[in-house]
Structure 1
Amino acid sequence: MSDDVTVVVPAYNEAGRIGSTVREFVERYPVVVVDDGSTDGTAAEARAEGATVIEQPENRGYIAALQRGFRAASSEVVVTFDADGEHCPRDIPKLVEPILADDKDLVLGARQTIPRPSERLLNRLARLRVDVSDSGTGFRALRRSLAVDLELDTACTCGTFVLEAAANGARIGEVSTETRSVAKPRGIAWKHGRQLFHVVRYLVR
């Protein structure tokens, strides 16, 4: 098992998916699942597969779960991974290697397609400052020292995660990754309206 990398998985009501997600990489990497106030069996399912589980008593949102996971990790590199299993664990080494080689501080796992029009708009704006194709991906590797310094004081991470990292002087890269179809409803992301304000705030700094 790698001591250099910890996989952080924020999860909210992912019972039925989180177990198989954790199972794919728990033998290779320490896994921290942050159960963000789930009302189903997410925590028990992740724990049964060997993950370290941190349970937040109430739902505080994706960013708060990420930050809790960053603080819990003790490795040099942290990988963020979506609980629904959309990403492929075999791509983790591609994200991690440039950081361990001291070439990058943050590496994004770019998806083949960005599903929501609002997310594509935020991405186009973020590209005015940082030349990456998928600034809203939930699949990333970054130095823990960078991770714990990020304030992430925004509505979500779309666009602003990379913009804040760039403002902190991070060397940012990107690799193409595979995604898998997940049977999960995607509602309208109303938070992207608020997030537009935050992206513009970073751009005019």
Structure 2
Amino acid sequence: MRISLILPAKNEAEGLRRTLPGLRELLPEAELIVVDDGSTDETAAVARDHGARVLSSPYSMGNGAAIKRGARAAQGEILMFLDADGQHGAAAIPELLAKLENGFDMAVGARGWDGQASVGRGLANGLYNRVASWMTGHRVADLTSGFRAVRAAKFKEFLHLLPNGFSYPTTITMAFFRSAYPVAYVPIPVAKRLGMSHIRPLRDGVRFLLIIFKIATLYSPMKLFVPTAAVFGLLGLGNYAYTYITEHRFTNMSALMFSAAAIVFLIGLISEQITALTYRRHD
């Protein structure tokens, strides 16, 4: 099967100089696509010098947007996504491809603790992995890894769901689990990145926090809404018990808590139906 290598890149000229030669040596027949996301350095020129097909944007649209552009343009039956910052080496590619040959639809390179950009990012990713594992019932070793191999036909089913920002790995992973497409994880070494990260803790902190809620709504909204409704219900019941004992009456606060519990539960039911319709396949 033909393989398409897709690298989203924004000002990653030095990273491409380190990454592309190894990719060409390992997979000389593979289609090589570099999506230049509004770079202001020599990213596009370096990619062309190494024989890559370059898709350039006049301005930065985001990592997820670059992934979608590359996937739409790719001709291969297997899509291999790598970061262009020099962290992902070619040595791990055969292991990922072997997982697809053994029946998996997506294989993800899982970083260890030493592969995290910072302590904060490591703790956040660990939390995401635990929430996703609880939601899916399967061990999710690295929810946010950008190094993955996937069957093109199945990946393209979910292009309309992918955001333009940094959380595309979360979305595609949960979409595959929801659709019962088997996902495998392969431990990989990660080199120190070249250049500066495009993620800013203050700017992206709230965005990454929202990924937790996105995980739930993408996979099983009821697992988020039912516990929330239960908390409101218990708070209402506790407040009613207290006010009945102390004041012998049913207060407005108790009514508010019970109403909130019912509303949250009903919103969860609607969200569950919307999620089911979102993943409904149209042949």
What TM-score, normalized to structure 2?
0.66
2:105 is matched with 105
Alignment counterpart, residue 124 of structure 2, candidates 118, 123, 131 = 118
Q: RMSD of the TM alignment (CA)?
A: 1.8
1:92 is matched with 93
Of Structure 1 and Structure 2, the greater helix share is in 2
SS of the residue corresponding to residue 46 of structure 2 reads helix
CA deviation after TM superposition for structure 1 residue 183, in Å: 4.2
SS of the residue corresponding to residue 68 of structure 1 reads helix
Describe the shift of the 1:8–1:183 C-alpha distance in structure 2 as closer, same or farther (beyond 3 A). closer
1:48 is matched with 49
- Which deviates further from its counterpart, 169-178 or 148-157? 148-157
Which amino acid in structure 2 is aligned with residue 178 of structure 1?
Answer: P
CA deviation after TM superposition for structure 1 residue 154, in Å: 7.2
CA deviation after TM superposition for structure 1 residue 72, in Å: 1.4
Alignment counterpart, residue 161 of structure 1, candidates 155, 172, 192 = 172
CA distance in 2 between partners of 1:48 and 1:154 (Å): 28
SS of the residue corresponding to residue 168 of structure 2 reads coil
Alignment counterpart, residue 143 of structure 1, candidates 148, 151, 175 = 151
Q: Which runs of 5+ in 2 are unaligned?
A: 222-271, 273-283
CA distance in 1 between partners of 2:45 and 2:194 (Å): 22
Describe the shift of the 1:185–1:41 C-alpha distance in structure 2 as closer, same or farther (beyond 3 A). closer
SS of the residue corresponding to residue 176 of structure 1 reads strand
CA deviation string 1:147-184 (max 9, x = no partner): 21112147513533210111222111111111112244
Rg comparison, structure with higher value: 2
SS of the residue corresponding to residue 13 of structure 2 reads coil
Number of positions where the alignment pairs a residue of Structure 1 with one of Structure 2: 202
Structure 2 matches for 1:186-197, cutoff 5 A?
A: 186=197, 187-188=200-201, 189-190=204-205, 191-197=207-213
SS of the residue corresponding to residue 164 of structure 1 reads helix
Contact 1:80 1:139 in 2 (8 A): yes
Which amino acid in structure 1 is aligned with residue 10 of structure 2?
Answer: Y
Of Structure 1 and Structure 2, the greater strand share is in 1
Alignment counterpart, residue 9 of structure 2, candidates 8, 11, 18 = 11
Higher relative contact order (CA 8 A, sep 6+): 1
Q: Which runs of 5+ in 1 are unaligned?
A: none
Which amino acid in structure 1 is aligned with residue 108 of structure 2?
Answer: L
2:22 counterpart of 1:24 = yes
- Which deviates further from its counterpart, 113-122 or 171-180? 113-122
4+ runs of 1 displaced by more than 6 Å?
A: none
Alignment counterpart, residue 192 of structure 2, candidates 172, 181, 184 = 181
Alignment counterpart, residue 131 of structure 1, candidates 139, 155, 161 = 139
CA distance in 1 between partners of 2:215 and 2:156 (Å): 20
Contact 1:112 1:177 in 2 (8 A): yes
